[in-house]
């Protein structure tokens, strides 16, 4: 990165770093708590929120954050102990997506001045299109999410690993679960601006899953997850800048998935060679 890099790339790096760090931290707990499907639902809800805001003619980010956080809290309240049943999640978000299509139609048909690509860029992101103001806001919000998740990480970790014991020790398990989902909602709204509503699940799940394969120690895993997410974001942005045919969202997800695949294959291989080494001793 030289100082001569074009402004759009500087904006992308600024916003991308904060977004990736937030996704890495929130995603780690999401995977640990086996709530990736909730993250998936929230990311799709982000699409509806953004399109509702566009159809109403207000700031897209307002719609994003209000919708995702509201649905996140709603799912948390509906479920027991701040976790919703996957059939309930499925029904709610399938319907919310349907409403999103409704707003998409309203937006594309009623506003003659609208650009037809707005729906597509909400779905797949446009990180190279961020203005400097948007990038600074995104970075600030991302930093805020990182601080919040880091602040609640100790009790949340306890509640995620052993819910019963944590509840017995007076940890407010339900409130934590709901608060955590609200943070995930904010992360989803934030990441929609970078990689889009459809792809942000990769940024939530892949670095966290990679970190969990690499270490069993929770705090180390949390740190690895955040660092991996940021590194993958940088590599993806660099790749997309070097090869303009690749959309940046694709490059970021491809790098994240490749890292996960490599570590996954490595752990399988190690387990196999490990068990082969053990086999002669036992037989």
Partner 1 sequence: MTGAGFSWNLLTDIREMWSFPFMVNAFRAGAIVAVVAGVMGWFMVLRRQSFAGHTLALAAFPGAAGATLIGISAAYGYFGCCMAAAVVIALATRHRGSAGSRATESALTGVVQAVTLACGLLFVALYRGFLNGTTALLFGSFLGITAGQVVLLAGAGLVVLAAAAVAGRPLLFASVDPGVARAQGIPVGALSAGFLVLLGAAVAETAQITGALLVFALLVMPAATAQRLTLRPLASLVLTAVIGWLVTWAGLFAAFYSPYPIGFYVTSFAFAAYLAAQLAAAARGRARRSPALAGAGVPA
The least distance separating partner 1 from the CB of residue 270, rounded to whole angstroms, comes to 15
Distance CA 246, CA 224 (A): 27
**Contact letters for partner 1, residues 97-126 (x by CB under 8 A):** xxx-xx-xxx--x------xx-xx--xx--
Q: Measured from the CB atom, is 135 or 204 closer to partner 1?
A: 204
Check binding of 269 to partner 1 (CB under 8 A).
Answer: no
How far apart are alpha carbons 205 and 112 in whole angstroms? 38
Q: Is 201 in the site for partner 1 (CB under 8 A)?
A: yes
| Smallest distance from partner 1 to CB 198, Å | 5
- Name the helix (H) or strand (E) containing 153: helix 132-161
209 lies in the binding site for partner 1 (CB under 8 A) = yes
Phi-psi region of 260 (alpha: psi -120 to 50; beta: other; left: phi over 0): alpha
Q: How far apart are CA 155 and CA 93, in angstroms?
A: 29
Residues 236-265, interacting with partner 1 (CB under 8 A) = 245-247, 249-250, 253-254, 256-257, 260, 264
Q: How many Å is the Cα radius of gyration of the chain?
A: 20
Rounded CA separation 171/10 (Å): 42
Task: State yes or no: residue 203 binds partner 1 (CB under 8 A).
Answer: yes
Listed in sequence order, the residues at least 6 apart from 70 whose beta carbon sits closer than 8 Å to its beta carbon are 185
From candidates 31, 139, 148, 188, binder to partner 1 by CB under 8 A: 31
* Tally of helices (H runs) and strands (E runs) in the chain: 11, 0
Task: Provide, rounded to whole angstroms, the least separation between the CB of residue 93 and partner 1.
Answer: 8
Q: Residue ranges of the alpha helices (H) in 79-111?
A: 86-110
Question: Is 34 a residue that touches partner 1 (CB under 8 A)?
Answer: yes
Interface residue list for partner 1 (CB under 8 A): 31-37, 39-40, 44, 86-87, 89-91, 94-95, 97-99, 101-102, 104-106, 109, 116-117, 119-120, 123-124, 198-199, 201-206, 208-209, 212, 245-247, 249-250, 253-254, 256-257, 260, 264
């Amino acid at each position: 990165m030289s100082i001569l890099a074009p402004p759009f790339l500087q904006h992308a790096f600024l916003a991308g770093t904060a977004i990736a760090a937030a996704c890495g931290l929130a995603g780690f707990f999401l995977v640990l708590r086996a709530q990736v499907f909730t993250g998936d639902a929230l990311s799709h809800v982000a699409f509806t929120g953004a399109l509702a805001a566009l159809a109403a003619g207000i700031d897209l980010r307002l719609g994003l954050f209000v919708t995702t956080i509201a649905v996140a809290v709603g799912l948390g309240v509906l479920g027991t102990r701040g976790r919703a049943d996957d059939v309930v999640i499925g029904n709610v978000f399938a319907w919310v997506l349907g409403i999103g299509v409704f707003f998409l139609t309203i937006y594309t048909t009623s506003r003659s001045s609208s650009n037809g690509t707005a729906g597509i860029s909400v779905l797949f992101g446009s990180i190279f299109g961020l203005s400097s103001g948007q990038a600074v806001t995104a970075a600030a919000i991302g930093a805020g999410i990182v601080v919040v998740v880091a602040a609640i990480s100790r009790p949340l970790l306890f509640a995620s690993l052993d819910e019963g014991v944590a509840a017995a020790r007076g940890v407010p398990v339900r409130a934590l679960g709901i608060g955590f989902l609200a943070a995930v909602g904010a992360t989803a709204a934030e990441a929609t601006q970078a990689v889009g509503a459809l792809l942000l699940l990769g940024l939530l799940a892949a670095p966290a899953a990679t970190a969990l394969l690499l270490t069993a120690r929770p705090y180390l895993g949390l740190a690895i997850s955040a660092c991996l997410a940021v590194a993958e974001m940088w590599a993806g942005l660099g790749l997309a800048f070097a090869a303009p045919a690749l959309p940046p969202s694709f490059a970021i997800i491809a790098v994240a998935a490749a890292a996960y695949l490599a570590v996954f294959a490595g752990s399988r291989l190690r387990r196999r060679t490990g068990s082969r080494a053990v086999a002669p001793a036992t037989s």
